[in-house]
Structure formats: structure tokens, C-alpha cells
A and B are shown apart, each in its own frame.
Chain A
Amino acid sequence: MAEAHVIGQIVGATGFSENSLFCKWGVHTGAAWKLLSGIREGQTQVDTPQIGDMAYWSHPIDLHFATKGLQGWPRLHLQVWSQDSFGRCQLAGYGFCHVPSSPGTHKLDCPTWRPLGSWREQLARAFVGGGPQLLHGDTIYSGADRYRLHTAAGGTVHLELGLLLRHFDRYGVEC
């Protein structure tokens, strides 16, 4: 079986209008992939930048996959939330990016989006907070039912991921 190690960090996020952000992340793979070690999903701490725009999480990611096929190459999906001083959480953006396929270290910038509701919901969000969220998390990384959504842009999540591959050449795959 070919093996892949994804080792890196969710560095932080910029461009969000809210302060005090945290990120829930997860990795989705196809059926041929098996997670040998590591945690497939997690949540970062809440970070409040005092000066400047970027919220830093430096959240480590260390995953070890074994695979029998290329289909379902791992995808990292992210949900950025903001927390206010009362402790309430509001969605700031959804985003996903594929894990790179060439070995080495890569800097990734993942843009995010958030669903817009009706004008009433947008007004309510501006005053009271809250706002629409996705019912099914897999819409974040799949294109299937996206045409139903009307969304607005959020900020960008910055990641640094390193990839180490092993035994892919035995299966005739050039990476």
C-alpha cells in the first residue's frame, strides 16, 4: 500500500471582518484511503489579534494515510467561526483545499465563503448575529448541490502543509 504523510500547520486567517476567530477543520478522503495515525478533525483555539488583521492559530496537523488508489485524494475542509465577548459563535466562512500532490512543503491560501440568506436574514445578522449555516457539511468540499446557494466572500485561511510520499512508484504513480 502506498503511504502519505501530511504534516503541517493551519497558520492563521486574514481578511475576516470579525475578530476572535477559531477554525474547525477536518480531512475528507475517498474510500480507498485509510488513516493510520493522526486525528482526522479538530478545532483550533480562539485567537484575538490585538494589532493587525491576522489571527494566528499555528494548529499542528500530522496525518498518516495508507491508500490503494488515487481517487479521493485528501481534502482539508475548514469552517471559520467568530466568537464575541458573550461567548456566542457566528459563522465567518467555509472553505476547502486539496492536500498537495507533490512532496515537499507548500504554502496554501484557502479562500472562504459564507451563505447569504434572504434580506431579512442578512439584516438580522448585522444587528443580532447568527445567520444561515449549511445543514450538510459535505457541501463544503463537494460541488453537487452548490447551484442552490447564494454566498458572500469571507477571508482567507493560510496553511503550510508538507507532504511525504512512500511506495507510490511501486504502483506506477509519479508524484
Chain B
Amino acid sequence: MAAAGPSVFLLMVNGQVESAQFPEYDDLYCKYCFVYGQDWAPTAGLEEGISQITSKSQDVRQALVWNFPIDVTFKSTNPYGWPQIVLSVYGPDVFGNDVVRGYGAVHVPFSPGRHKRTIPMFVPESASTLQKFTSWFMGRRPEYTDPKVVAQGEGREGENTETEIPRVARLWLCPAQLTLFCPQ
């Protein structure tokens, strides 16, 4: 029996970063990027983006809405390294500096269809109380030099993060596989 060669399949992701809930912060923008394994490559669309700055609505919902489109297609031969979308949210602090308000990551869903994902967002914590005060004062909060580390598992020991709930970003992701990898 002839062995089948590696089969290429395409993963098309449409969707949007819909909104976020950050009770204490306002005037936020978000950046998204995709992190994927070595066997994956983007073939169409944008794999990174920066949204507009949004303010909270005046009504009871206090919603921060971006409605920011995501449209990208990947090709791969192997599900290992399935793409993850990494979101980073930034906003001004009391002195007007741009500081990070949260990072979050989630895998692109496997099955075609409309999926809503609510991602918790976390920030790295300062190592000591003095550093917390200094970073508040100077506007230089601890942040990751490369947000893509949020999507990786190695090297997380020894990191301290804090999450204030609810701080979530809502995403709609609609992936479609143009060649089904796993028909079962």
C-alpha cells in the first residue's frame, strides 16, 4: 500500500475582538497576534493588529467595545502548534503613560462554527511593594517584552501575575477548515 504523503490543510479564521470588561480602566486599545508552531504558516490575512482606542459607554453596561476584525488563514501539515491568539490590552494611567492592562491567550477553536470565547486577562505583578509604588509613579509597569510568551508553557515558573476579576475580553472566532484533517 502506498504511504500517503504529508497532507496540507488550511485553517481559515474569521472573527472579531468584540468587547472587554475592565471595571477600573477606560480608554483602552488592544493588540492581537497569533502564536503557532513550526509547521504552521499564515497564507492570507493579517496575523497581527492594533485596534482603536475605545471608551466606556455611558449606560449601565459600561461596555468597552472594539468590534475589531480578525481575518487570517493558516496552512499546516500537523495539528501540533495549533494557533493561539494572544491579546494585550493597553491604556493610559493617571499620568497619561501607556501601560499594559492585561494579557490573555486562547487556542483557535477546532471545529467550524461560531464560537464565543471569554478570555481572562492578567498582568505581571511587581516583585515588591516598593517596586509597585515606583512603577505606579513612573508609569513603567512590569510588562512582557514579547507578548507571545503568554502563549507558551515553558518558563512560567517564577512568574507572579495578578488578575482582577472581572477583566475579560470577548472574542468571536469562526474557524473553518478547508481540508478536514480529522474526519472522525
Residues of A within 8 A of B (CB): 5, 7-9, 11-12, 20, 22, 36-39, 42-52, 54-56, 58-62, 64, 83, 103-105, 162, 164-166, 168-169, 175
Q: Which of B81, B104, B110 has the most CB of A within 10 A?
A: B110
Residues of B within 8 A of A (CB): 37, 78-82, 84, 104-107, 109-111, 119-120, 122, 125, 150-154, 156-166, 181-182, 184
With a CB–CB cut-off of 8 A, which chain A residues contact B80? 5, 36-38, 62, 64
CA distance A50 to B122 in the complex (A): 11
Interface of B is mostly: loop
| Contact residue among B37, B163, B184 (Cβ-Cβ distance under 8 Å from A165) | B184
Q: Which residue of B lies closest to A23 (CB)?
A: B156
Known A-B contacts A48-B161, A104-B110, A169-B184; A56 and B120 likewise in contact (beta carbons under 8 Å): yes
Interface of A is mostly: strand
**A163 → B minimal CB distance (Å):** 9
Known A-B contacts A58-B120, A165-B182; A49 and B153 likewise in contact (beta carbons under 8 Å): no
Known A-B contacts A39-B154, A45-B160, A58-B105; A51 and B82 likewise in contact (beta carbons under 8 Å): no
CA distance A44 to B79 in the complex (A): 23
**B149 → A minimal CB distance (Å):** 10
CA distance A36 to B37 in the complex (A): 14
Please tell me if the beta carbons of A168 and B120 are within 8 angstroms of each other in the complex: no
CA distance A51 to B150 in the complex (A): 22
Please tell me if the beta carbons of A60 and B84 are within 8 angstroms of each other in the complex: yes
Please tell me if the beta carbons of A60 and B153 are within 8 angstroms of each other in the complex: yes
| Contact residue among B81, B160, B163 (Cβ-Cβ distance under 8 Å from A49) | B163
CA distance A58 to B162 in the complex (A): 12
Known interface pairs A8-B107, A12-B120, A62-B82; 20 further A-B residue pairs with C-beta atoms within 8 A, sorted by A's residue number: A5-B79, A5-B80, A7-B82, A7-B107, A36-B80, A42-B156, A44-B156, A50-B162, A50-B163, A54-B165, A58-B104, A58-B105, A58-B122, A59-B156, A60-B84, A60-B105, A60-B151, A60-B153, A61-B153, A164-B182
